[in-house]
Amino acid sequence: MLMQINHIVPIEHIITLSCILFCIGVMGVLLRRNAIIILMCIELMLNAVNILFATFSAYNGNPDGQIFVFFIMVVAAAEVAVGLALLVLIYRNTRSVDVSLLDRLKW
Amino acid sequence: MQYIFYTLAFFAILCALFVVFEKNPVHSVLYLILTFFSIAGIYVLLNAQFLFIVQLIVYSGAIMVLFLFVLMLLNLNKDTEPQKSVIFKTAGAIAAGSFLLVLVAVLKDTQQSTELSAMTDIGLVKQLGKTLFTKFVVPFEVASILFLAAMVGSVLLGKKELY
Amino acid sequence: MEKYFYLVILFPLIGFLVNGLLGSKMKGTTPGLIGTVAVFIPFLIALGVFFNYGHESQPILQNYFPWINIFDFQANFSILIDPLSLQMTLIITGIGSLIHLYSIGYMHDDEGFARFFSYLNLFIFSMLLLVLGSNLLILFIGWEGVGLCSYLLIGFWYKNEDYGYAARKAFVMNRIGDLGLIAGIVLLWSYFKTIEFQAMAIHAANVDMSDPVIIIATLCLFIGAIGKSAQIPLYTWLPDAMAGPTPVSALIHAATMVTAGIYLLVRAHFLFDLAPSVLNLVSYVGIATSIFAAIIALRQNDIKKVLAYSTVSQLGLMFVALGVGAYTTAMFHVTTHAFFKALLFLGAGSVIHALHGEQDIRNMGGLKNEIKSTYWVFLIGTLAICGIFPLSGMFSKDEILTVLFEKSKGLWALSLFSSLLTAVYMFRLLFLTFFGTYRDDEHKKSKIHESPMVMMAPLWVLAILSVFGGILNLPHLIGGESYGKMAHFLDPIFSHSKLATEHMDAGLEIGLMALVVGLVVIIGFVLYNIYVKKESLPKPDMSLRGVEALVANKFGVDELYDTVISKPVLGISRFFGQKVESAFDGISGFFFVAGFKSIGNSLRKIQNGNVEFYLILMTGSIVVLMILQFLIKI
Amino acid sequence: MTLALIAKIILVVAIFVLTLAVAAYSTYLERKVAAFLQDRLGPDRAGPWGLLQPLADGVKMFTKEEFIPAASEKFLFILGPGLFILTALMTSAVIPWGPALVIAGEVIALQVADIDIGVLYVLGVVSVGVYGIMIGGWASNNKYSLLGAVRASSQMISYELAMGISVITIVMITGSLSLNEIVGQQAQGTWNVLKQPLGFLIFLVCAFAETNRAPFDLPECETELVGGYHTEYSSMKLGLFLFAEYMNMFISSAMIATLYFGGWHFPYMDKLGLGPNTLAFLGFTVFFLKIVFFIFFYMWVRWTLPRFRYDQLMHLGWKVLIPLALLNMLATGAFSLLF
Amino acid sequence: MQSLTNRSRVVSKKTMNFWERIYLPAIFGGMWITIKHFFKKKATLRYPEETREFSKVYRGLHVLKRDENGAERCTACGLCAVACPAEAITMVAAERKKDEKGLYREEKYAAIYEINMLRCIFCGLCEEACPKEAIFLTDRITPSNFERENFIYGKDKLVEKIDQRIDVSGRQKHITEKK
Amino acid sequence: MLIGLILFPLIFSLMIFILPKNLTKYATIFYSVFSLSWMGMVVKNISSWTNPFFTENYVFSSNLPSSLLLVLDGISLIPILLTQLLIALILWMLLANQKEDKSTYSLIALMHFGLNGVFLCADALGFYIFWEVTLIPIYFICAIWGEGKRMPITLKFFLYTFIGSLCMLVSFLYLYQIQPEGGNFSIANIFNVDMSATARFLVALGIFIGLAVKIPIFGFHNWQADTYTSAPFYGSMLLAGIMLKMGLYGMYRWLSPVFAGPLCCDLQWYIIILCIIGVVYGAIIAITQTDLKRILAFSSFSHVGLIAAGIMTFSHSGWQGGLLQMFVHGLNIVGLFYIVNLIEQKYGSRDLNKLGGIATQNKWLAIYGMILVLGTTALPLTNGFPGEFLLLKSMFEYQFLTALFAGTTIIWCAVYMLRLYQKVFFGEESKLVLSGDSSLSSIEHFILIIFVLGVLVLGIFPQLILGLSESTVLNYLTQK
């Protein structure tokens, strides 16, 4: 039942879905100033890519893609852990998570 | 069958849009969780059980909880986020939009793929485990080191003495 | 005997090493004796070879090891024994041994006694290399070596800054000449593909006259010679070189080293023969130097300075002779000049020794009674250099004048003038030093003493040589059948010379001789009248005016060089060292600091720290790249 | 097909009812046990021995005033308890309740869905379970509730790790993620608790923490947070929260029993020579007894141990349990490699 | 300092050993204790069905006694009110009418006699102070009420009913002994 | 065999950190002796003096376009010999100075590693990597133990060399990139390409800039004097003695193969002009300097300019003379730096105006100094002469007037060297000299005697060095 998706849904549609999600993520990153939201949007982008991987994996019958999704998740988890820790730290210092305030890196 | 997919896809996109446009960060998080659930559903449709469950555990169960936790910890309710200037907003929207345009254009340009195979059991844990621990064993180990590093890093960052 | 000829070179070297390394531990005069022996044995060897060396003997080439041997340049460490080098060897070792002997007495109180002898031995070694080297590069070793020794010996009393300055001046001036010599060597190599004298001589026979390369090469060699033999414009170092101990002045700056230039020209005569224009230049430079130095000598009051300028003047005469192709004549004058100038210097040294370091002739006078022996030898020397018959100087000088008379009347007249000037300043020196009354305080007078035997013996030997040196190369007129022994001896060298001269009419020769002698005698009397009878003294330098002051001040050439060369060089050096370097600093600073800074400053505006801006920029550029990729397919 | 489907539907309904019933009676049991442990009698007025007390409570809950704070996020405020109970219910789908029944020649497994990643499913659902608390706590717009929610989330995440790792050891031993198979293997061999005493202990502790039970009931501790995340809740929404908690307790007891105590298996089960249906009934009974024991155990512990301080909780989770679990895993791995 | 009781223990802060630090034995010990209590006899009294025995000297709700003839004993002397530490008792005396002879034992009687039960501390001093053995504390419990004013008990509640005499002999004896 | 030359320094450099402090001395002695004897063994094993003597290739991965290709031929033999000798000497000097810092020894060994690599590696990428490796220790040496404004000066030095070497890297990468499929970085392949004249010019320019900074050639020299002055003495020695030779060596090995075609002839001419300007410029500046190290720096600048010019003439005498002079200059300048160091150590200053009369106090130092000064001044029968003569010869044959201009170096050199010598050793003793310690320890004597012997022996038998490279140079130049 489930295994028939590749006969029903054209792969392009899934790819398009992935693209749309990715671009929504990009848009979120660009539009929002809340660092947490931005981080979330990055997660969204990662997920969009994950869909692609999973799709190609399923359509090509090659498990490697799914393994990559797995790795991406690993990296995402690590990224979120560190990123959020950083955010908390930033918040402690600046009382805000507004990215536009984070211009101390400039020299 | 395909309706499930399109429903999920529609739902995912809708929720994703809400993630971006919702004022309240907590709502954003919740919408993102919904998006992730939809994506998990798509994984199921793609016969990727393992991914489905990992998506559930890792993204919904851990990452998003973490987000929510941080949001609550910092008590960032709505309206604390200052708005961007219109220029940046427009620029951002245009950039993202043209990005999508380009992506879709590229996609259009690619050749229509023919269906290749329909191996159904690749999403099973056994199958993935075999691949993971043979072909990808080194990246796997590296990933665990990465995790360790991330853990140590976040613990260190959380320490008060650091700043 | 010839087999062991390398010992000639080796002994002085050994002497140098022994004295240099162990000398400070030896007691008394041991280093002096070692030094003397180390020169005397080579003299004996050379003498042995000399007597073995017949007229028909071929030059002996002794090849020791390849020194520089690469694909396109070879120079062997080899020596050439032929009449010319043999003669020079004899002069060097002979006079060298005498001066060494003299030095034992002269330097015996000096704390650098051993050092002095090691330097002297090193000098002898270098000088021997110079004259014995079979190729230009070995000659160059010696050439530079003697320059070094000259430097070391002039600056022997190194605590004195002025002496050090004089030493450096000598060395640097020599170096200027050396540069010319190197250039010449290279040119000759590239022309002949050899720098061996013999090989070059053979090749030279097939070369056209006035080949431009040869002209430039000979010019270069001549520049070298100018430096070494103290000709205009590089002569100023020689008078200053009198800062060294007097035996040094005698050995190096009168008898041997300064004649290296003459030797070089003689050695390379086959090249100069091909370049008449250069030869002309040689004679012009020579005569100019000769007169110029002689004029300066007229107004010098330092006993050694007078002799130094005299040396320059005599060297000039030799160059004049060379310039007209009278190589043998020049060599003859080199030889006799070595005798009497060494004698004069050593005599002067004896005087200085007697007066405990006093060198100003205005503070002397009447010494002929105090130090008779010295007086006599000095007198002989003076007469010899002035060309009084039958002392050696007369023969050699006369020969030059004769040749010149034949070649060019103008040069002859000028040379004659120069010779007369020689008489003037020499008699002035003699009279002021030994005649009249002692002009310094009596206290000093009581301390005047005659030099010890070890000093006087060489003096007397030299005096004898000065007297009879003429025998070596008597003119046909006087010597009859045994005339021109030296010329005969040297004949194989010059056999190819295209400028070989014929002897002139005997009557004319006698006339010229008589003219010179007569004039000299007249000058002698006039000067006797002025300095002894009237006891007129040279005025203090301060009170001199006009031309006199100019002359006393050596025509201000030192000052001229100072303003024209030294000061600008120092100025340029400071300019480079401070201004230009800091300009470089500035430029590099501009590039590394200011340039990057300004670029950075302008780029910094992009790095405004605004994350959203970065993000939009990033996305925008990705879009652009993708569009490019899409459109252009790079 | 139809029979199986009907059976499945019946099973689902039955389990649903069972779960609710058990949860309901857990509240009764809680009071009763508490009373007994404190030398009291507990509720005994409603019905014989107070057996109708849960019903009375239900009636009370329903009849109480429905109160929604004005400053709250209304939708989320309502969503919170719903989500919580939903996730609590979902877990029961993969638990094998007993040996398979054989009705009319068809084997009907007493399990709603025998998916081969059952363990992961449980973990996943449990990890999602925290959202109910968090949303509810946050939506109350109350400091205490928010603190409760934050505590709940961090506690859940922290203990999930140790729990997951200890479950992994089980998976390592059995080589399967399917709960059914895990039980089957225990039925063949020994119970896992004997192989994994340390893992069991860790799992047990984590189960306590995951269900927010004392001594880990920090998200709702009355003395500090005045009820924590459900401070603002009243009426049936509070009831749902409490209900869900008991459901969680029930499910986690079931999990403990399944993973470590052989599920429906009891010693000498196959020696009895009984029919499959009897056996299924017996098995289910045994399993249920085990569950009841663990529910009792929950209560027992609750009334024995004092509540942790928050830092102690984190200390225990991160610095004791996770390292221990890792060690346990390593030891198990080494052991299974060596022997 | 000498401790008042001998139950105090010196607190030692010694570092715990391993077994103590993992707490498991302690936990199991605690659980053993609780489970022991599980099986203990329950202390609960199912109240309405069962009641607990009062003690002999229980001091409960007051009663104003009548004599054998049914006449009130109280003469409104006010000694009880004076003795009351909580000042819960107030009274108004009145003179007996002729026709009231059967009602009151003496000429003087308490027209109003009130005890504020919210103030009363059931100390029993009124009992002891009464010279006429008119007031006694019984073993009855003061019933609860919703209103404060209902706790001010008047004679209607205090005086024993003619037909429901309350036995206070135990109390009487006790007081007599005390006196 | 050759790999040992690279490996042992690396091992030692790491090992020295592990060893206890009191063993450092012995380890260093062992190491220096060992590396010398290893070198001796290498030379002894050379069976045929036609090129190359040894080739060793260590392939890390066949996928990499680069491998560790070590080649020893006449051109690399001489700098390698020099490196072994000088490193050993510098280590001994440090021991004589009782320098205890482990890290210094380690850094020098690291330097040794890099230098040997530079001189041996015939793979462009490897060459570049070793080239940069040498920068690390010298950076630390200058930055940690330097004096004066060491940080900005070291930074300047670093930036100069680094930017220079980047230009070189670009050229190498270009050369690699234009090769047909399957190309690699080995020296045989990398220059075996067809290029347009402009490209060739630019490539040559890039490589030249990288080398020119290191040498340094006029215009790229600004870092030199400051760095030499501020660096510690062993830093200056490493810089002037060996690192500078890297640039010269690079001209032989990496620059010369690019030269062909008309545009490059222009470049050749420009380079020579620059070199010669540097020769005179440096010499003239040296005349008025008062800091001994600065004089030596400018002297070194002047001398290497001549070497570089000689190399650029592409003549036998220029190349042979250059190789000889590389060796000799390394020996002399290090010896002089050592003497300067001894003076500074004993008398506390290296200012010309504050010194004087050392000859009276310390006769032997004066003698050693004199011989080294004469060697630098290129007096015949000292080692400076044959090389300088050959270089001048090549110059004269290339262009007479230019050469005459360049030849003035022998005059300038005499001027500033004798001025230096006179001011330091002659004259009346200055206060500092009188108060200083005027004795030489036996190890100092030993080290100085090695230098002096080097000056004299090579002066009399320059063929010892010239012979090593003759066939290689012949091969190189005839192939062109």
**Does B7 share its domain with B79?**
yes
pLDDT on residue C431: 83
Q: Which residues of D touch E42 (CB under 8 A)?
A: 35-36, 39-41
In a domain, C547, yes or no: yes
User: Is the confidence at residue A105, as pLDDT, over 70?
Assistant: no
Q: Decide if C16 contacts C95 (C-beta within 8 A).
A: no
Cβ contact (<8 Å) for B99 and C630?
no
Q: Decide if F307 contacts F248 (C-beta within 8 A).
A: yes
B92: containing domain: 2-123
pLDDT on residue F334: 92
**Does B37 share its domain with B108?**
yes
Q: How big is chain E by its Cα radius of gyration, in Å?
A: 26
CA distance E102 to B134: 113
Q: Decide if A98 contacts B82 (C-beta within 8 A).
A: yes
To test the contact with chain D by mutation, choose from B29, B67, B72, B120 the residue with the greatest count of D C-beta atoms within 10 A, namely B72
CA distance D66 to F338: 96
With CA atoms as reference, report the closest residue to C247 among C370, C44, C108: C108
What C573-578 contacts at long range (C-beta under 8 Å, 24+ apart), as own/partner pairs, is: C573/F284, C573/F285, C573/F286, C573/F287, C573/F288, C574/F288, C576/F281, C576/F284, C576/F285, C577/F285, C577/F288, C577/F289
**Does B118 share its domain with B156?**
no
Q: Which residues contact C369 (CB under 8 A, 6 or more apart)?
A: none
With CA atoms as reference, report the closest residue to E65 among E111, E134, E149: E134
pLDDT on residue E29: 87
Where residue A107 falls among pLDDT bands split at 50, 70, 90? Answer: very low
Q: Decide if F319 contacts F335 (C-beta within 8 A).
A: no
Whether B16 and chain A come into contact, CB under 8 Å, resolves to yes
Phi and psi, residue F121, nearest 5°:
-75, 125
As given in the structure block, the two tokens for residue D15 are 């389990």
Cβ contact (<8 Å) for B92 and C612?
yes
pLDDT, tens digit, 9 for 90 and up, residues F328-340: 999 999 999 999 9
**Does B138 share its domain with B161?**
yes
Whether D312 and chain E come into contact, CB under 8 Å, resolves to no
CA distance C138 to C127: 11
For position A16, which CATH number holds? 1.10.287.3510
Helix (H, G, I), strand (E, B) or coil at C217: helix
With CA atoms as reference, report the closest residue to B76 among D138, D136, A38, A31: D138
Give A 53-72 residues with CB within 8 A of chain B: 54-55, 57-64, 66-67, 69-71
CA distance F448 to F367: 10
For position B22, which CATH number holds? 1.20.120.1200
The list of chain C residues with pLDDT below 50 reads: 498-500, 634
In a domain, C345, yes or no: yes
User: Is the confidence at residue B114, as pLDDT, over 70?
Assistant: no
Percent of chain B with pLDDT over 90: 0
Cβ contact (<8 Å) for F389 and C161?
no
User: Is the confidence at residue A1, as pLDDT, over 80?
Assistant: no
pLDDT on residue C634: 45
**Does B115 share its domain with B48?**
yes
In a domain, C74, yes or no: no
Q: Which residues of A touch B99 (CB under 8 A)?
A: 23, 26
**Does B56 share its domain with B128?**
no
Give the CA distances from residue F458 to residues F311, F467, F471, in Å, rounded to whole numbers and listed in that order: 20, 12, 19
> Please, which chains are in contact with D (at least 3 CB pairs closer than 8 A)?
B, E
In a domain, A82, yes or no: yes
As given in the structure block, the two tokens for residue F44 are 């002894």
**Does C502 share its domain with C613?**
no
* CB contacts < 8 A (B, D): 65
**Does C535 share its domain with C599?**
no
As given in the structure block, the two tokens for residue B145 are 């080191």
Query: What kind and span of H or E run contains D81?
Result: helix D74-90
How would you classify the pairing of strands E89-95 and D101-103? Answer: unpaired
Q: How many Cβ atoms from other residues are within 10 Å of residue B126's Cβ? A: 13
Q: What is the mean pLDDT of residues D41-67?
A: 83
pLDDT, tens digit, 9 for 90 and up, residues D242-297: 888 888 888 888 888 888 888 777 777 777 777 777 877 888 888 888 888 888 88
Q: Decide if C365 contacts C118 (C-beta within 8 A).
A: no
Domain ranges of chain F: 261-480
Q: Which residues contact D113 (CB under 8 A, 6 or more apart)?
A: D93, D94
Q: Decide if C322 contacts C283 (C-beta within 8 A).
A: yes
Q: Which residues of D touch B66 (CB under 8 A)?
A: 157
In a domain, A79, yes or no: yes
Helices (H), C60-211: 83-106, 113-132, 136-154, 161-192, 197-204
Q: What is the mean pLDDT of residues F32-43?
A: 89
Cβ contact (<8 Å) for B65 and D131?
yes
Cβ contact (<8 Å) for D40 and E42?
yes
Helix (H, G, I), strand (E, B) or coil at B77: coil
Helix (H, G, I), strand (E, B) or coil at C4: helix
**Does C461 share its domain with C610?**
no
pLDDT on residue C280: 86
Q: How many Cβ atoms from other residues are within 10 Å of residue C581's Cβ? A: 18
User: Is the confidence at residue A2, as pLDDT, over 50?
Assistant: no
As given in the structure block, the two tokens for residue D178 are 């399917």
Q: Decide if F306 contacts F409 (C-beta within 8 A).
A: yes
Q: Decide if D204 contacts E27 (C-beta within 8 A).
A: no
Percent of chain E with pLDDT over 90: 0
**Does B57 share its domain with B113?**
yes
C447: containing domain: 157-559
Cβ contact (<8 Å) for A57 and B122?
yes
Where residue A3 falls among pLDDT bands split at 50, 70, 90? Answer: very low
Cβ contact (<8 Å) for B53 and D121?
yes
pLDDT on residue B119: 55
Last-in-domain residue among C541, C559, C577:
C559
In a domain, A106, yes or no: no
With CA atoms as reference, report the closest residue to C187 among F405, F400, F313: F400
pLDDT, tens digit, 9 for 90 and up, residues D106-151: 777 777 777 777 888 888 888 888 888 888 888 888 888 888 888 8
pLDDT on residue C261: 87
pLDDT on residue C569: 84
Last-in-domain residue among C529, C559, C589:
C559
- Look at chain E and count its residues: 179
Of C137, C187, C588, the CB nearest to F222: C588
Total tally of structural domains belonging to chain C: 2
Q: Enter the ipTM.
A: 0.57
**Does B131 share its domain with B119?**
no
State the burial class of residue E146 (Cβ atoms within 10 Å of its Cβ: 0-12, 13-18, 19+): exposed
Torsion of CA E157, E160, E165, E171, to 10 degrees: 100
Instruction: Give E62-178's CATH code, choosing from 3.30.70.3270, 3.40.50.300, 2.30.30.140, 3.90.25.10.
Output: 3.30.70.3270
Name which of A8-17, C478-487, D90-99, D102-111 the model is least confident about: C478-487
Q: Decide if D133 contacts D229 (C-beta within 8 A).
A: yes
Q: What is the mean pLDDT of residues A13-32?
A: 83
Helix (H, G, I), strand (E, B) or coil at C28: coil
pLDDT, tens digit, 9 for 90 and up, residues F194-222: 888 888 888 888 999 999 988 888 888 88
Q: What is the mean pLDDT of residues A34-44?
A: 85
pLDDT, tens digit, 9 for 90 and up, residues E62-90: 888 888 888 888 888 888 888 889 888 89
Q: Decide if D276 contacts D100 (C-beta within 8 A).
A: yes
With CA atoms as reference, report the closest residue to C384 among C393, C376, C375: C393
A79: containing domain: 2-101
Whether F156 and chain C come into contact, CB under 8 Å, resolves to yes
Total tally of structural domains belonging to chain A: 1
Give the CA distances from residue D41 to residues D21, D26, E38, E42, in Å, rounded to whole numbers and listed in that order: 22, 16, 10, 6
Q: What is the mean pLDDT of residues F61-75?
A: 84
Q: Which residue has the higher pLDDT, B119 or D133?
A: D133
By C-alpha distance, the chain F residue nearest C576 is F285
Q: Which residue has the higher pLDDT, F85 or E1?
A: F85
CA F285: distance to chain centroid? 21
Q: How big is chain D by its Cα radius of gyration, in Å?
A: 20
Q: How many Cβ atoms from other residues are within 10 Å of residue A50's Cβ? A: 28
For the residues of F146-178, what is the DSSP string, one character each?
Answer: --SSHHHHHHHHHHHHHHHHHHHHHHHHHHHHT
Q: Decide if C203 contacts C192 (C-beta within 8 A).
A: yes
pLDDT on residue F113: 92
